[in-house]
Each structure stands twice: as structure tokens, then as C-alpha cells.
Structure 1
Amino acid sequence: MIGVPMPNPRDSIIDELNQHLDAFFGAGRTVQEVAQGVSGVKDGTCGGGHSSKLRAERDRLAPGLKALAETGSSINKAAAAMGIDHKRARLIARENGFKFTENP
């Protein structure tokens, strides 16, 4: 109709959401927090196929890199021995919870 203000759709959505919340909590239900990873959703990642392939490759390299770290090799020497960049070696070490010596 001309001249009649249209209702704000946002207000109707908020009203409907409040009705659902009142019904949920009115029935005696409580909020449940789901830990990250349980639902399959990870924060901060896209979750695409390419990142999964990169992660699988890093997981494949991790045991060899960890063995080099345990022998006292520096991160640069270990990365050169594995044929990867030192930044990638640092990422693999951080993801798998091991550290390299500062000065070999």
C-alpha cells in the first residue's frame, strides 16, 4: 500500500527468535557448550581439500623432522636435510609439539 510504512523485517526476525528462546528455556532446557573439533568444525581454517592435503603432507614429514630434532640438529640443517623450507619445518614442529636446539 502506498503511504503505509513497511514493517522492519529485522524486528520480526528478532521477535521470532526471542519467542523461540523463551520456549526453549521455559521448557527447562539449558545451554550446552560443544568443544572444538567434536562437531567437525575447526575455528580459523577453511576446511577445504587443499589445506587437508597440506596437513597430511606435514604429518608425513613430522616423524623424520622430529628424529632430526632429537639428535640435536638445528632447524635450518634439519630443513635442508628434509628438503623443505625452515618456516615449514618450524610449523611442523609447532603442530607436533617438539622443539629444535637454538645453537647446535
Structure 2
Amino acid sequence: MEQFFGAGKVVQEIASGVSNECGGPIKSTRSEKLKAARDKDAPQLKALAEAGKTIHESAKAMGMDVKRAKLTAKENGIKFPSAK
């Protein structure tokens, strides 16, 4: 550091947004595509929830994994009835 300041250099503050850092979680094209696909499935999942199906029954009817159905429901505010 002594060499840096001794050479007459000074510290610069870089303004927010100039450094090309977005300041949030890293987004990738793949995750954006997966989110778009889940959003596409959301209306059908919501309809099944409104028909009284549980999340497990809905996932099975749509041919998807229960984890994916839960994530889709969480992202889109879909509430399911509790298991019977």
C-alpha cells in the first residue's frame, strides 16, 4: 500500500451500478427458462387446487414432481387443501 500511495495514486469510489454488479442473486438463462415453464404450468395447477385436489394429486395429474409443484405453488401464491 505504501508503494501505491507513495506513487501519488489515490483511492477511487466507484458509483453503484457502474461496476456491472447487479447487487442481487445471480440469474442464469437456465433458471429464467425453468421459472417461465413453472409460470406456464401455474394456471392448471391453480385450477386443480380450486377443484379440491391436494398438491400430491395435482402433481401426479400434471405428470410433474411434487417438489416442482410445491415450488410453482409457492411462487404463484397457490394454496392447496391439506391431505385427507
Structure of higher CA gyration radius: 1
Return the alpha-carbon distance in structure 1 between the equivalents of residues 23 and 35 of structure 2.
14
Which of 71, 87, 90 is equivalent to 2:70?
A: 90
% same residue = 44
Q: Structure 1 residue 9: deviation in Å? A: 4.6
CA RMSD of aligned residues (A): 2.5
Secondary structure of residue in 2 paired with 1:16:
coil
Return the alpha-carbon distance in structure 2 between the equivalents of residues 42 and 97 of structure 1.
26
Return the alpha-carbon distance in structure 2 between the equivalents of residues 78 and 59 of structure 1.
15
Aligned to 1:49: 29
Q: Given the two structures, how large is their TM-score scaled by the length of structure 1?
A: 0.60
Q: Given the two structures, how large is their TM-score scaled by the length of structure 2?
A: 0.73
Q: Structure 1 residue 47: deviation in Å? A: 1.2
Secondary structure of residue in 2 paired with 1:100:
coil
Q: Which runs of 5+ in 1 are unaligned?
A: 1-5, 21-40
Higher relative contact order (CA 8 A, sep 6+): 2
Question: Does residue 1:7 correspond to 2:13, yes or no?
Answer: no
**Letter of the aligned partner of 1:60 in structure 2?**
K
